[in-house]
Homo-oligomer: A and B are copies of this chain.
Amino acid sequence: MEIEIATIGGYEEVGRQMTAVRAGDDVVIFDMGLNLSKVLIHDNVETERMHSLDLIDMGAIPDDRVMSDIEGDVQAIVPTHGHLDHIGAISKLAHRYNAPIVATPFTIELVKQQIQSEEKFGVNNDLVKMEAGETIDIGDSGNVQLEFVNVTHSIIDAINPVVHTPEGAIVYGLDKRMDHTPVLGDPIDMKRFREIGREGAGVLAYIEDCTNAGKKGRTPSESVARRHLQDVMTSVEDYDGGIVATTFSSHIARVKSLVEFAQDIGRQPVLLGRSMEKYSGTAERLGFVDLPSDLGMYGHRKSVDRTFKRIMNEGKGDYLPIVTGHQGEPRAMLTRMGRGETPYELDEGDKVIFSARVIPEPTNEGQRYQSETLLRMQGARIYDDIHVSGHLNSEGHYTMLKALQPKHLIPAHQDMKGFAPYADLAAHEGYDLGRDLHVSNNGNIITLVDE
């Protein structure tokens, strides 16, 4: 059976991920993501109203024209988890393919919301829910299956999809951390990965998330971040002024920890900001997380400001607002608070807890710095970097290679500079550039089996 892999997007950047696997006549697409930084560098771009071709020209969404060189039928579009760099282009590209979108329940829900906010294209692909651990047939050959393996990442309900073929399995390894104590959800299913590495024809190809391949050691478990956060929150237990926290809105496990520690120190948590409401609301509605029944979540500016007014009236010391804005995004809630645009007034000594890391890109660093500076000018004191990454460091990569023993390796989720440390690491394990280690650009097709 012929096996080809098209490296469509996210092979020259982090963002706009898209990869297609052809096994005989059947094609599966993994991810259709958005490179948000290519949108934000322009002022006042509204992607909702833009055409795919313009977004492709901007480098914002994958250039999927290479798909016309792939002979076969797309049978499924499989986003691996709900982050924008994996689902953000679905509303712009999915309607071109006559295939269902297959994903875990939480991811499907986020895809649905995204499609609803799209204004340019009508996206009518079927939305099919599939749980981690399940396997379905792909196409009619009876020879190709799609399996979801549970992984741990900075969002819930993340999986690594596997395409089983007579030539071996193709494992799509984006994005994950190797977490055995993940605070929310099940630990990563290493047992299954080890089985896949040993059963049948083994693993033909492994497409790997190289984000942190150059970092030493092991990405700590979410439970380490939780312990760190607890230490910080407990230390401000006696403070009776304002405390505000911010984190990635989609990071439900972290939001859960913030909510719990807020209660531990006698404060009522409240989630503020549009994406805070969206992600946590969705997670709770779908039963992924058990949040206090009276937990307030407000997204619209008016209801947020009303909540801030109530907090100011009842006393800042009784509340912990958990807000958007951990990267200093100009329109996020914390940035507005720094600019004094909300009813919440900061006083000398108030605490602002960033349970996040600054994404190291100069525009971003500048905005974050500006936001922090404005907060400080009002007297706020900053706690930052209370976080762990969602991506594997080098030791995780070694462990995956040992578990899967893949014949071919395809580094992804970086540019060539970012692939370099992964190539080094793979060379230690006997892989050779150009032979079984395929450093690819966007828009290329790698032929693995040619008969």
Please report A residues at the B interface, Cβ cutoff 8 Å: 41-43, 178, 180-181, 216-218, 220-221, 223-224, 227-228, 231-232, 234-235, 339, 348-349, 361-370, 373-374, 377, 381-385, 394-395, 398, 415-417, 419-421, 423-424, 427-428, 432-434, 439-441, 444
A365 neighbours in B (Cβ, 8 Å) = 362, 365-366
On chain B, the residues within 8 Å of A377 by CB distance are: 41
Q: Is there an interface contact between A217 and B178, defined as CB atoms closer than 8 Å?
A: no
- Cα A235 to Cα B181 in complex, Å, equals 11
Pick 15 A–B contacts, CB within 8 A, sort by A.
Answer: A41-B374, A42-B339, A43-B339, A180-B234, A216-B383, A217-B385, A218-B231, A349-B398, A363-B366, A363-B373, A415-B420, A416-B424, A420-B420, A427-B441, A434-B441
Complex: A382 Cα to B419 Cα, angstroms: 20
**Chain B residues whose C-beta falls within 8 Å of the C-beta of A41 in the assembled complex:** 370, 373-374, 377
Q: Give Cα distance in the complex from A367 to B216, angstroms.
A: 18
A340 to chain B, nearest CB (A): 9
User: Are B423 and A395 touching (Cβ within 8 A)?
Assistant: no
> A367 to chain B: closest CB distance in Å?
6
Is B433 a contact partner of A440 (Cβ separation < 8 A)? yes
Residue of A349, A381, A416 with most partner-chain B CB within 10 A: A416
Contact residues in B for A348 (Cβ distance below 8 Å): 428
On chain B, the residues within 8 Å of A417 by CB distance are 417, 420-421
Known A-B contacts: A180-B234, A235-B395. Give 9 more (CB < 8 A): A41-B374, A220-B231, A362-B370, A363-B367, A381-B398, A416-B416, A416-B423, A417-B420, A417-B421
Q: Which residues of B contact A234 (CB under 8 A)?
A: 180
CA distance A382 to B393 in the complex (A): 11
Residues of B within 8 A of A383 (CB): 216-218, 395
Cross-chain contact B433 with A217 (CB below 8 angstroms): no
* Nearest-Cβ distance from residue A201 to partner chain B, whole angstroms: 26
Complex: how many Å from CA A370 to CA B217?
Answer: 18
Instruction: Select from chain B the residue with minimum beta-carbon distance to A230.
Output: B224
Given the complex, which residues of B lie within 8 Å of A440, measured CB to CB?
433-434
- The chain B residue sitting closest to A393, CB to CB, is B383
Taking CB as reference atom, which chain B residue is nearest A437? B441
In the assembled complex, the Cα of A407 lies from the Cα of B394 at a distance in Å of 37
Q: How far is the CB of A235 from chain B (nearest CB, A)?
A: 5
A384 to B218, CA, bound (A): 9
**Chain B neighbourhood of A416, CB < 8 A:** 416, 419-420, 423-424, 433, 439
Residue in contact with A362 in the complex, picked from B235, B366, B395, CB distance below 8 Å: B366
Q: Are B220 and A384 in contact (CB under 8 A)?
A: no
A221 to B364 alpha-carbon distance, docked (Å):
30
Q: In the complex the two chains form, what is the Cα distance from A377 to B180 in whole Å?
A: 30
Q: Which residue of B lies closest to A394 (CB)?
A: B381
Shortest beta-carbon distance, A337 to chain B, in Å? 14
A227 partner residues in chain B, CB cutoff 8 A: 223-224, 227-228
